[in-house]
Structures are given as C-alpha cells and as structure tokens.
Chains A and B, each alone.
Chain A
C-alpha cells in the first residue's frame, strides 16, 4: 500500500508539484529515522517524490552509510571530519547527542538507486540521464515508473530514450500491478536489449503469469543465441587481431625467407629494433617537440623501416651473402647474430622493459553491438593491411619489385639480362628487414619492448610462412589469419597455452600433408 502511495506521490511530483510538498517531505524524513527497513524504504521513495531540495543529499548520505538519526527522529549527516550536519537544514551540529546510523538492506539499496536514478532522469546533461536510466534499469523498481513515463515523454535523445524504455520495461515486470499485455511488451523490449544484464534480469523474474513466463523463456533463448553469435564474432575479431600481428611479424620473413630462401633467425631482432626505434623516437620527441608527441608513431614507422632496413642491408652485405646456398649455415650464423643484437640492445638500453606510450587516439575501445573493439587492435589490423598492400604493390609495380621477382624466378637468367643480382639481394633483404621494423612499431603498442621481444615471435613467424607456402604473400596472409583465428577459437575451449600447443601440433601434422605449405610455388622454382 505504501508503495502505491509512493507511486502516486512520484506521479504527483512529476505532474504537478502540489502544495502539500513540505508535509510529504516531513513524513519522508520521519520515515527514514527508523530501524524498520520497510519504513526506511518507504521514506526513500517518498523523499525522492517530494522534490525537497535536500532530498538528493539525504538519499546520497543514506547510500554511503552516513545518515544518522536520533531517537527524536531528527536526521543528521555525518561529515568526513567526524562532525554532523542537520539533514534538513544543512546546518553544522557540533554534538547531536546519541545517534544511530540508518541501516539499509538490499531492498533499500535498490530503492536508493531507483530514487537517485529517477531524480537524475531529468538532468539537463545527456550522459547523466543515460547513466540514470541504466541505474533505474538495474534497480528495476516499480516505484520509478511514473518518473520514467514522464522522462520518456520529454526525452529527445534516441539512445537515452531507448535506455529509459528498457528501464521502464524492467520496472513494469517488477511491478505487481502491471497487466499481462504490458509485461509481454516489456519482455520484448528487453529481448531487443539482448545483453547479459537483460538476460540476468529476465532469468531472475519469478511469479509471472504463464504467458509472460513463456515469453521470458523464449526471450532468454533468443538472447543466448545472440550472445553466442556475438561471442563467435568476438573470437573472429580477436583472431583477426592476432592474425594481423602474426602477419606483420611474418610479412618481412615472407620476403627474406620466401623470396630469397634465406633463413633469417635474426628476423625477430629486426622487429625488436623497430620497437626500440619507436621508443627512441618517443624519447626524442618528448624532449624536443612535445607538441607533436601524439604523432610520434607516424614518425616512428618510416624511421623504423629505415633503421631496420639499413641493419638488414648491412647484415646481407657482411654475413649472408657468403652463405647463399647453405641455408642451414645461414640459420646458425643469423642465430648467432640475433644473440649479438639482443645483447647489444641490452647493453645500450638496459635489460628492462621500455615504456612505449600509446597515443590517446589509439587507446580506448568502442562498442559495436555485442563486440568490444579496442582501438589499438583496430589500428594494428588496419596497419597490417596497409603494410601488406604496400608490399604487394612494391613487388608488383616498382622496378625494384620487378627485378626482385626476376631474381627469385631465375637468378642466372636475371643476371644475364643485366640485373645486378647482388644488389637486388641486398635490397630485398633490406626490404624484408624494414617491414619487420615497421612491425616492431606496431608490436611496441601491444607487447613489452624488451630485448627478447623478437624471440617470442620468431617461431610463430616461421610457422606462418611455412604454413602459407613459401614465396607467396597471399599464402602468408591467409596463413597468419588462419592461425590467429584458430588460436582464438581454441582458447576458450582449451585455454591459451593448450590452444597454442594444439595449433603447433596441427601445424606439424599439416606440414606432413603439404610439405610446401598451403600455396606452394609451382614449377622449377620449387625444386630446391
């Protein structure tokens, strides 16, 4: 009955503030000063309806456990410094005498949420209204209905309005006196909301009429199915993101290993050098051009390409060119080189992880339906697509690319046509290393920048290249994405480590079936 009154009072507040406002507020304050949970709860609802200027402060104090009452039903708000305020007048009271805190239970907490929410529903600030609507939804208090109706009628922002309607649906379903048609209508509103909160709320409902219960069951199934679809989509997204990281790390390797047949175990260190270049660029820009700091990554990308590419060319000229035709020896020598490079970086920069900042435009996340898309992952997917496209264009449309392909297909014939194959080798190696350096810029955003950064990617990168088929960038792309997505789909089932093991074993088995990867080179080039 009290609740009914509360609804009436709320409606009264919403429609026309009557002359009896002050009386209501007094009653509400009196009801709050009680040890009875029911009385306190009623007081909260009355108070929120009263529109009393101190209502929000008093309910807020109750929420944080700072509302005290004296046996004579006077209310006080305890201050952080230990003093008290009179709840109605906000006057400081040095010594209120014997006071007891107003105790709350879960029912009262819900009422508080709904009351505070209902009061904020009319805030001029859209964001406040939105959070208020959410709070009212979670509280699911029938008492909030009139305020909600009024707020919905006034609301102009469609997204806030939607949230309010959902809150109203929750309130209707919680209310004891809603009609069956209203309830079914409410269930369908919540069904379209289709998130975990809506599902939880629907599942928690009991004592509904049979028709409504049926509708709820159907809605829950529908929400579950939708959630399943979203989780599949989320796995695909995570997989794409992992795949694009693998692709970035492996794209350079696809050039050096795939096109040149050089096993560069120091490839991971080219990635690492790229990451450290990013670090160095950020240090420099922080010190000298702080205004452009947000764009530091844009400067780091070409620089990392150049630094790693130069290191790559130097390696090719001094080391690898002596080892052509001896792939296993190349492997060992470049492994040794990777140790030297790691230790070199450790000597220069120290063994600790370096902080590479994520620019503000890359941090945060966005919601797309049930998907959470983090911006840095989105940018990495985008970046790897751009790198891949640029690489393919370079191989296909530039004169260097043409020469590279010629040398790959038939070294001697290319030499006979006047192509300086040693230089092409050096530039190809530089290109592959430079791409690895750019990968390092991206990886610096999601991984620890440490001297061991490269090592953790080298095996995966080789797997990708071998899986995709040597000498084929499309194969590398498909290989990277397949491995990434497979990994992410296995993870929820098997756990992260087990998923990785399973992928490795599957790869080992796959190579037995297709020793040259998914897309082997056809023809004589493959016979080596």
Chain B
C-alpha cells in the first residue's frame, strides 16, 4: 500500500509522539528536564483512545453519511469487557477478599458469578468479547435500521435512544456490572500492575499502534472500491440504489466495523483511566465524539484523530485553568465549527495547500 504525505505524516506523528513520550518517561530520571510525568502518559493514552472513537465515528459519518449519536455506547461496551477482565484479575485482593466475586457483587449479596461473567478471567476471551459485543449490537441494530431505510435525523435519534437505554440499563445494580459505580480499583493486567509507570507507557505505545492500525484499515477501506460506493451512498443513497447497489449492505458492514473499532478504543481506555462506569454511555459523550470529528474535518481520517486530540487537550487545559468556561468554549466550538469551518481544521490545511477550488454550483 502506497502512502501519500498526509497518511505518512499522520502515521509518523500518531506513533512517533506517544513512543517518544513513553521512552522519555521510562528512560529519564524524574528530575531530568526532558522527563515526561506519568500523568501526561495517562492523558496521552486517553486521547489516543478517544481518537479511535473519533476515527470510528468519522468512518460512518464522514464516508457513509450515518450520523451516529450513540457511538460512545460501543466504546463503553468494549470498555466494560476490559473492565470485567480487570475485575476478575483483582481476585482475592478486593476489599471483601472474595476470590470469585468482584467487590460490588459481594456487597449486593450475590452468591455466585453470573453466567455472563464466566470466561472473562481469560484475557483472549475478554478481548474477543470487547470486539464481539459492540460488533453484534451494531450488526443487529444496523440490520434493523438500514433494512427499513431509517436514515438521517431519524437514525441519529434512535442511535441516541440506544445509548440512552444502555445508560439506564447499566445504572441498574441487577445488571451485574457494578451499577452506578461501575468498576474500578483495578490491580493488574496480564500480570503487570496497571498503575505502574512501565505499564502505562506500554499501554500508551500499544494504543498508538492500534490507532495506527485502525487508521490504515479505515484508509484502505475508504480508498477501495467499497469505499467509493460508500461515498456514493453518503451523497445520494437513492441514486446508488437505482444503480443496482444495496446501500444497506454497505452501510451495515462499515457500521459494524466502526463499532468494533470503537470497542477496541474502549477496551484500551479502561486500563489507562482505571475506571469504567455507566456515564460513558451518556448521550452527551457520543455527541462530543461527533464534534471531535467535525473540528478535525469530517471525511478526513487524519482530521478525526487530530480533532479528538485538539478538543480533548483543550478540555484538559480549560477544566484545569478556567473550569467555568469550558462548557462555553465547547459550545462555542460546536457553533463556530458548524457555521464557519464545515471542513474542520483539515479544511484549513487543504485551503492553504491549494488555492480554493472553484465551488461547485449546488444544484437544488
């Protein structure tokens, strides 16, 4: 596969920067000028996971025209799968010292592990579930929705209903996923302590690698013949259908893939932030993911990564420096980007690179 300059730069930076950060954190002394503190490593890891979610949203929104307002649900489901694995790893080191049951189950007076928790002590199974559960949910949901041609705003609204329903469901203690508090107090992952600097650095580099891999997969998809059909579906679905394609099949494939990508992001997110709870399902999170894409530039995969990092960096900075202004800034960003930057930051770059192309007269 041949990479153009943007792709090369994206891959280089996406992998290079986290790798450098991780190396600096590991090899330099705490007092050294170039030392990268561990909280930066954790933050960077979080950004990369959000970038995966953004990439997933961009794949369906930017290239298939499906505006999902519920993508954080897939992210959170992947996160819960990882969280379940991490909970099982705690073993008897929990507060109640029960080797079989996570603390919250002991607290709720459960006697044995629910059937759906079995297998999660085994890492490959948990990771398989982190892919399978979001993928299956997306496939079922997409199959229903695309087959009956629910499109546009209606689709957006029911994706939001989906994540809202999951939010409510995971808040329930009876579900066996820790209810309101979710899962936290993780001890180790694959035998390495999750809190340790080394583990954090390694997770950061692994996240970067996964993000690059996802970027490459997404890129090869959108540049393939399949991707061309997707773009046709995005632009005029009915015309594509009249040409003999089945838009619902194309949409279903990319939708499911996108959910799996989001699930991977979630699975990598949980060990790095150390908690997963139902608030990850909040509709606002999904909408925020959409704005990352919009800021970076919808329909440009690099833009999704860039947008996620920029907005989240801004969020970190604002909530630290001017906490009261963050929502104003985020809200203004939504408005500003949709009104004045329809192609996002990447659109700015593109406009600088080449003189503005003569705009196509929009046929009404």
Contacts and interface: CB of A to CB of B under 8 A. Distances in A.
Interface string A303-339: 0000000000000000100110001111111011111
A263 B164 CA distance: 18
Interface of A: 263, 265, 319, 322-323, 327-333, 335-344, 346-347, 455, 459, 462-463, 466, 497-498, 500-501, 504-505, 507-509, 511-513, 515-516, 528
B332 interface: yes
B156 A512 contact: no
A501 B168 contact: yes
Interface string B147-163: 11111111011101110
Contacts of B338: 323, 329-330, 332-333, 336
Contacts of A511: 145, 148, 150, 154, 158
> Which interface residue of A343, A505, A507 has the most chain B CB atoms within 10 A?
A343
Interface of B: 67, 69, 141, 144-145, 147-154, 156-158, 160-162, 164-165, 168-169, 171-172, 283-284, 287, 290-291, 294, 324, 327-328, 330-335, 337-339, 342
B144 A328 contact: no
| Secondary structure class of chain B's binding surface, majority of residues | helix
Given A323-B339, A329-B338, A513-B148, 9 more contacts: A328-B67, A328-B152, A339-B330, A455-B284, A462-B157, A466-B154, A501-B169, A504-B162, A515-B148
A336 B168 contact: no
Contacts of B144: 508-509, 512
A226 B168 CA distance: 35
Contact of B334 (A333, A341, A512): A333
Contacts of A463: 157, 161
A339 B154 contact: no
Contacts of B284: 455
Nearest to A455: B284
A286 B262 CA distance: 53
Contacts of B342: 329
B176 to A, nearest CB: 14
17 contacts: A327-B152, A327-B153, A333-B335, A335-B287, A339-B330, A340-B331, A340-B332, A343-B328, A347-B324, A462-B160, A497-B169, A498-B172, A504-B164, A508-B158, A511-B150, A513-B148, A516-B154
A319 B335 contact: yes
Given A501-B169, A504-B165, A515-B150, A336 B156 contact: no
Contacts of B141: 508
> Which interface residue of B147, B294, B327, B330 has the most chain A CB atoms within 10 A?
B327
> Which interface residue of A342, A505, A511, A528 has the most chain B CB atoms within 10 A?
A511
A307 B250 CA distance: 47
Given A331-B153, A498-B172, A512 B145 contact: yes
B328 A340 contact: yes
